[in-house]
Amino acid sequence: MKIPISYIWRSLWTRRLTTVLTLVGIALVVFVFAAILMMAHGIETTMRDTGYEDNVILIRRSASSELLSQVGREGASIVKTFPEVSTDPNGKAIATTEVLVVITLFKKESNNLGNVSVRGISPEAFALRPAVKLAGGRMFQFGSHEVIVGSSIIQRFKGCEIGKQISFSGDQWTIVGVIEAEGSAFESEIWGDVEQLMPSVGRPVFSTMTFRLKDKNMFDALKQRVQQDPRTQYMEPKRERDFYEEQSHAMSTFIMILGTVVTVIFSIGAIIGAVITMYGAVSNRTVEIGTLRSLGFRRRSVLAAFLIESIILSVVGGALGILMASVMSFVRISTVNFGTFSELAFGFTLSPGIALSTIIFSVAMGVIGGFLPAVRAARMNIVTALRSS
């Protein structure tokens, strides 16, 4: 490309109004595209970070979620004795047997009922999930009708402040503390004593059991042992991180598909805008094109100049779109977790991969939008172009 970049840049500046309008069009489409990717990524990150690499969750075979899973006391006790399960200095397995149920509470914003996950835990739950920390109040006492609530719950649902009582399954539960969990899904849950919850909600069996492996490489051996033992083979161990990531797939895929359809429709509009802008630029500069060609600049230089002009528009528009989307990082919203049908709060997460995909997307818009006008400019007959003066 021999044509100076200053020519391209200043040509864009000269027709500032159309340049800015095209930029805004591209930026808005890129914003939507990036925001959708950030939303899907935010859900995946929230769910994935809920699990730990060396933790294993035991669910009933073929159960697609914790809600549908059932783990019997006997089976849980047997697995606790397996050599792959990590133990404390006293020889007790570091494992939490849990039950997960869904209750309804009134939302602060809309006053409508929303689903909330209530998790009954064993004392070892905190050792297994070090990211979960008490952010206010105190820990509930095992053996009592006390619960602690996730920080997202206290923000979004009525009557969930410390000291308040919530009622479900005919029992009253006193809120005594608030937990934070580095943005993971646990912040959208209520936790209480599993042995108190089970009779209250009428569940004779646990939903799941989570435990730590002695060594994370022991997973395959553990899986084999669970599958071979007739007393435990109705259950299936999964790495906790993989399990929660799987749980987010349905929702993130749904958002991605819906978002992609919306973005494609928007991007067609933006591409048409870019095509019109670039055709206008070619028409207005017919004489300049003829002059450049007569001076000895080749067709491909003219093609490159106009294509680069379009790409500059798309890159600047793309950067603007990413900048707008990055503001969304400060926003936290909630949606229904398809795995538990309860509210899940998550943030929009911008990753380098999303930024790169977004820039590639916007450059693609620039190339598609600028190609035909650039070809027209390059194919222009010199004499005809000069005559248009």
Partner 1 sequence: MSLVAIKNISKSYWRDSLEIPVLRNISFDIPEGEFLALMGPSGSGKTTLLNLIAGIDRPTTGSIVIGGTDIGGLGETALAQWRSRIMGFIFQFYNLLPVLTAFENVELPLLLTKLSSKERRDHVEFALKIVGLEERMRHYPKQLSGGQEQRVAIARAIVTDPTILVADEPTGDLDKVSAEEIMKLLDRLNSEFKKTIIMVTHDPRAAERAHLVRHLDKGELS
Residues that bind partner 1 in the complex, under the rule CB under 8 A:
2-4, 6-7, 10-11, 13-14, 287-288, 290-299, 382-383, 386, 389
Least Å distance, CB 366 to partner 1, is 20
Least Å distance, CB 372 to partner 1, is 21
CA angle 64–195–77, rounded 5-degree value? 65
Q: Which two tokens stand for residue 161?
A: 């402040």
Backbone angles phi, psi at 227, to 5 degrees: -75, -30
Q: Which is nearer to partner 1, 165 or 384 (CB)?
A: 384
Q: Which is nearer to partner 1, 11 or 334 (CB)?
A: 11
Least Å distance, CB 6 to partner 1, is 7
Distance CA 131, CA 28 (A): 37
Distance CA 364, CA 358 (A): 10
For helices 299-327 and 352-379, give the axis angle rounded to 10 degrees.
150
Least Å distance, CB 318 to partner 1, is 24
Least Å distance, CB 373 to partner 1, is 18
Q: Which is nearer to partner 1, 101 or 305 (CB)?
A: 305
Q: Which is nearer to partner 1, 4 or 204 (CB)?
A: 4
Q: Which is nearer to partner 1, 89 or 295 (CB)?
A: 295
354-382 burial code (b ≥16 CB/10 A, e <16): bbeebbebbeebbbbbbbebbbbbbebee
> What stretches of the chain adopt beta strand conformation (E)?
55-60, 95-106, 113-121, 133-137, 146-150, 165-168, 171-180, 189-193, 208-212, 235-239, 332-337, 342-347
Q: Which is nearer to partner 1, 235 or 302 (CB)?
A: 302
Cα–Cα separations (whole angstroms), residue 88 to 75, 91, 215, 260 = 20, 5, 14, 49
Least Å distance, CB 376 to partner 1, is 17
